[in-house]
Structure 1
């Protein structure tokens, strides 16, 4: 019964009013009675959580939970690039000559995603990686590389669903949704980290205190499940040979190397 309820709640996020109501509910004390069943149905690993389940007073607090120190080992190779989130890798590919990418059969414009044709030029023929977070995932975002934040900005007003059906049938959510973009320079090589909002609730909160990022350092969190898009410059990275699509991955696991 409760599993049906959670699925129904997720389906309601296709509508702005109901989505905002659900966001309000998950942040209220009324949602606390759902926490034990939610943790069970979505198989949340309580052993790795920083605090016990009864510490969380709302569902939203559980969504943005922190993990125990050391729960996500960071790949230590100097040239490695790690996953910034616990997620499913939904797609990996090349940014075309037309400055777009194809995900689930739908084309997404990189100039539209970044809000700048000139900036998109930098990533022409580069690699992209799509990482989708479900309601069961740990929702904090960590830096995939060490480097300096050169620019950070937000675009978009509304957020449509970014699950698999949303990617396939939605109105180009990766390039139209509310999104917060962080561009990082690592020894002259750039990566754009596009954090895409979901559920009509623009729930991306930054947590890094300054412009210097260390690989594996927390930099933001989603209040609800969403998607991270990584954009790399041409010939700057090599994807790890074990990467497949779709594939589950966790924060700190290697997704590729700097060339």
Structure 2
């Protein structure tokens, strides 16, 4: 029954419109000196550690500025050639089963659909995945877990369900229903796929590789359908290089093809725990 209720709510509540409005509110610059106490209250409410931020709190004009803050150099050292791409909670990880992953107990979803929508390559074989949830207090920029070549980015419009524990537990195929931006990182040993998955109040995802792109930037954007961006040149990226930014907290899912999983011996589940950008993944 709860699954049906959660699924039905998405048909009633205008989740994308709510998220669009929340984004506009987060970007609102208040007149005079009103912005500073609002940002300060927000930091306190969510327990954000501003000691790691690149700039002092008084330099941030809006809530969105606080959420998208950069970090001071050196506070997230890169500890290997395969690392976690962001701060957050490692909620689920382990071997995939025929291109499928576990969202929650009894709720599997298609990793292939997550990464490729309706155009899944016939020879695709994803054999390991990890899901990292970013809470509101986390650092919200996402970085490359590995060295490789970035040639293609895909955008899939969709719904904007919350990605908190209750929603993950009761919303079928949550991640494949939500809006997402997918990066293909090709290495000499195989391919790593990284999906930045949007959520309620996270209707904006940006990437420095697409200067004129922002997800859910306006009403009706979803009607344009999925888009694949072939970059004007191949970008050689390194572990820790920035891939994109969430305007509020959300979820990152990474998946390894079979060759890359064998290269790094990713054949077992990792323990659920807090993780930080730059920590060794394997």
Q: TM-score, normalised by structure 2?
A: 0.77
Q: Report the CA distance between 1:27 and its aligned residue.
A: 0.7
Q: Report the CA distance between 1:84 and its aligned residue.
A: 0.6
Give the corresponding residue for 1:34.
38
Task: Say which of 239, 243, 254 aligns to 1:219.
Answer: 243
RMSD of aligned Cα (Å): 2.4
User: What does residue range 161-240 of structure 1 map to in structure 2 within 5 Å?
Assistant: 161-199=162-200, 201-208=202-209, 211-234=235-258, 235-239=262-266
User: What does residue range 1-259 of structure 1 map to in structure 2 within 5 Å?
Assistant: 15-30=15-30, 32=35, 33-75=37-79, 77=80, 80-97=81-98, 99-105=99-105, 106-114=107-115, 115-116=117-118, 118-119=120-121, 121-124=123-126, 126-199=127-200, 201-208=202-209, 211-234=235-258, 235-239=262-266, 243-245=270-272, 247-256=273-282
Q: Report the CA distance between 1:120 and its aligned residue.
A: 7.3
Greater length-normalized contact order (CA 8 Å, ≥ 6 residues apart): 2
Q: TM-score, normalised by structure 1?
A: 0.83
Name structure 1 gaps, 5 residues minimum.
Answer: 1-12
Q: How far apart are the structure 2 equivalents of 1:90 and 1:158?
A: 21
Q: Report the CA distance between 1:43 and its aligned residue.
A: 2.1
Report how many aligned residue pairs link the two structures. 238
Farther-moved stretch of structure 1 (157-166 vs 140-149)? 157-166
Q: How far apart are the structure 2 equivalents of 1:120 and 1:73?
A: 38
Summarize the Cα distance change of 1:169–1:120 in structure 2 as closer, same or farther, 3 Å threshold.
farther
Q: Report the CA distance between 1:218 and its aligned residue.
A: 1.0
After superposing on structure 2, the runs of 4+ consecutive aligned residues of structure 1 that deviate more than 6 Å are: none
SS at match of 1:135: coil
Q: Report the CA distance between 1:226 and its aligned residue.
A: 0.7
Q: Report the CA distance between 1:117 and its aligned residue.
A: 5.8
Name structure 2 gaps, 5 residues minimum.
Answer: 1-12, 211-233
Q: How far apart are the structure 2 equivalents of 1:157 and 1:242?
A: 29
